[in-house]
């Protein structure tokens, strides 16, 4: 008779694989950058020196001064205040996209891998179909129906990003399903749902979280691009992508900061999320060797 201990050698380290130690200074700096971004989002109302939407045409395109550390835009709005408040919309959208795709993707992937047969075929082909449609195109189509704002792009990108996670989870779940510990639990009479929830999902969770970290950066870039094109967050609301769009005219007048500051924030955040995601993936791969 198979005992519960027989499955132990085949179990992965689970969420312990996400401990961000021993990844090198670049990984540590990226984690610090992301932690700082989270603090800025939480403390934006306290740290922002001005109302991000307050107009002051007499202070249009003022350079860096003691009152305006990053200057002002064409409408006299403080760039630093808009950057801080823009971080809230800039990070909230990707958080929603990643949250939804990280919930739906593993669910579809595990069901497809565990059920097999027609269920696997149906779910896999459906994910392939959605995967073939560019997320930005899907967002633009939905915005044309619903209207501009944050809601339509978040819904569209959530749908577009779900196959990324679902296909990854399906492949890993199929490998895990073939391992002896899965059969051991099934021989002991455990239901398929219990095995998936208590053992299969925890074993693939680290890989999902690593992919989600990278997806966060991609979603941030996509949502910023949509706002830049006028399909996302609308002025006068503070948003990094919209700020770049508004700052284009200022560049022609020699004022770089209204467009450069939000561009730098987007690049910094995307690179930091990418490094953290790659670092977590490398750590998981090393633990599985």
Cα-based angle 268, 274, 278 (whole degrees, multiple of 5): 145
Which of these, 150, 147, 131, 167, lies nearest to 222 by C-alpha position? 150
Please give the pLDDT value at position 288. Answer: 57
State how far Cα 5 lies from the chain centre.
37
d(CA 243, CA 258): 7
d(CA 192, CA 222): 37
Buried b (16+ CB within 10 A) or exposed e, 189-199: ebeeeebbeeb
pLDDT-based confidence at residue 286 (cuts at 50, 70, 90): low
Please give the pLDDT value at position 155. Answer: 94
Please give the pLDDT value at position 10. Answer: 42
Residue 4 scores a pLDDT above 60: no
DSSP class of residue 135? H
> Lowest mean pLDDT: which of 23-37, 66-80, 120-134, 175-189?
175-189
Residue 107 β-bridge partners: none
Q: Token pair of 180, please?
A: 């002896």
- Per-residue pLDDT reduced to its tens digit, 180-206: 777 787 777 777 677 777 778 888 888
d(CA 208, CA 73): 40
Please give the pLDDT value at position 251. Answer: 85
Which of these, 51, 119, 82, lies nearest to 265 by C-alpha position? 82
Cβ count near 107 (within 10 Å): 17
Q: Token pair of 1, please?
A: 């008779």
Is the model more confident about 113 or about 9? 113
> Lowest mean pLDDT: which of 67-76, 162-171, 218-227?
67-76
Assess whether the previous peptide bond of 236 is cis (omega < 30° from 0). yes
pTM of the model: 0.84
State how far Cα 269 lies from the chain centre.
10
What integer best gives the mean pLDDT of the chain? 83
Q: Per mean pLDDT, which of 19-33, 48-62, 101-115, 275-289 is the most reliable?
A: 101-115
204, 75 Cβ separation under 8 angstroms: no
């Amino acid at each position: 008779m198979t005992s519960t201990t027989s499955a132990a050698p085949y179990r992965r380290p689970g969420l312990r694989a996400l401990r961000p130690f021993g990844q090198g200074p670049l990984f540590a700096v990226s984690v610090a950058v992301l932690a700082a971004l989270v603090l800025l989002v939480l403390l934006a109302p306290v740290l922002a020196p001005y109302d991000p939407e307050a107009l002051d045409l007499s202070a249009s395109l003022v350079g860096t001064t003691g009152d305006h550390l990053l200057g002002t835009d064409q409408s006299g709005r403080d760039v630093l205040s808009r950057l801080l408040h823009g971080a809230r919309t800039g990070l909230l959208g990707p958080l929603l996209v990643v949250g939804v795709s990280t919930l739906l993707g593993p669910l579809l992937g595990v069901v497809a891998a565990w059920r097999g047969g027609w269920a696997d075929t149906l779910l896999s082909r459906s994910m392939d179909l959605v995967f073939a449609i560019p997320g930005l195109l899907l967002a633009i189509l939905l915005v044309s129906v619903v209207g501009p704002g944050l809601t339509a792009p978040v819904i569209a990108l959530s749908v577009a990003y779900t196959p990324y996670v679902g296909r990854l989870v399906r492949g890993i779940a199929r490998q895990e399903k073939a391992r002896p510990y899965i059969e051991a639990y099934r021989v002991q009479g455990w239901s398929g749902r219990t095995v998936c929830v208590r053992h299969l999902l925890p074993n693939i969770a680290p890989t999902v979280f690593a992919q989600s970290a990278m997806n966060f950066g991609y979603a941030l870039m996509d949502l910023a691009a949509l706002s830049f094109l006028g399909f996302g967050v609308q002025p006068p609301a503070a948003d990094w992508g919209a700020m770049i769009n508004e700052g284009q005219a200022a560049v022609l007048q020699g004022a770089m900061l209204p467009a450069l500051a939000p561009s730098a924030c987007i690049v910094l955040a995307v690179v930091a999320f990418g490094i953290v995601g790659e670092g977590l993936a490398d750590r998981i791969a090393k633990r599985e060797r």
